[in-house]
Structure 1
Amino acid sequence: MTEADTRPREESRRLLIVEDDAGFARTLSRSFERRGYRVRSLQDAAGLPAILEEFAPDYAVVDLRLGGASGLTCVQVLHARYPAARIVVLTGFASISTAVEAIKLGATNYLTKPSDSDDIERAFGRVEGDVDAGLAVRPTSIKTLEWEHIHQVLAEVDFNVSEAARRLGMHRRTLARKLDKRHLPNG
Structure 2
Amino acid sequence: MSDDVATGPGPDPSLLLVDDDEPFVKRLAKAMEKRGFAPQTASSVAEGKALALQAPPAYAVIDLRLEDGNGLEIVELLREARPNCRIVVLTGYGAIATAVAAVKIGATDYLSKPADANEVTRALLGHLEAVPDLPDNPMSADRVRWEHIQRVFEMCDRNVSETARRLNMHRRTLQRILAKRSPK
- Fold match (TM-score > 0.5): yes
Separation in 2 of the partners of 1:34 and 1:152? 37
Separation in 2 of the partners of 1:164 and 1:20? 29
**Counterpart in 1 of 2:54?**
54
Q: 1:117 to 1:136 in 2, by over 3 A?
A: closer
**Counterpart in 1 of 2:41?**
41
2:180 is paired with a residue of what secondary structure? helix
Q: 1:171 to 1:160 in 2, by over 3 A?
A: same
**Counterpart in 2 of 1:103?**
103
Q: 1:73 to 1:128 in 2, by over 3 A?
A: same
**Counterpart in 2 of 1:144?**
143
Q: 1:53 to 1:71 in 2, by over 3 A?
A: closer
**Counterpart in 2 of 1:88?**
88
Structure of higher RCO (CA pairs closer than 8 Å, 6+ residues apart): 1
CA shift at 1:155, angstroms? 2.6
Letter in 2 for 1:84: N
Q: Is the 8 A contact 1:57 1:82 kept in 2?
A: yes
1:182 is paired with a residue of what secondary structure? coil
Say yes or no: does 1:178 pair with 2:177: yes
CA shift at 1:56, angstroms? 1.9
Structure 1 residues not aligned, in runs of 5+? 1-10
Letter in 2 for 1:148: E
Deviations 1:24-55 (A, max 9, x none): 11221222233342222222323333222322
Q: Is the 8 A contact 1:86 1:107 kept in 2?
A: yes
Deviations 1:111-169 (A, max 9, x none): 122211111011111132235x4224544322212221232233334445555455445
* Mean Cα deviation higher: 18-27 or 117-126: 18-27
Separation in 2 of the partners of 1:117 and 1:138? 25
Letter in 2 for 1:71: G
Q: 1:66 to 1:150 in 2, by over 3 A?
A: farther
**Counterpart in 2 of 1:17?**
17
Aligned residues: CA RMSD: 2.7
Q: Which segments of structure 1 move beyond 3 Å, counting only runs of 4 or more?
A: 67-70, 136-139, 157-177
Q: 1:115 to 1:166 in 2, by over 3 A?
A: same
CA shift at 1:18, angstroms? 1.7
Give the TM-score normalised by structure 1: 0.75
CA shift at 1:13, angstroms? 1.0
Letter in 2 for 1:122: R
**Matched residue pairs, number?**
172
**Counterpart in 1 of 2:129?**
129
* Mean Cα deviation higher: 114-123 or 48-57: 48-57
Sequence identity percentage: 44
Separation in 1 of the partners of 2:24 and 2:171? 32
Separation in 2 of the partners of 1:55 and 1:156? 33
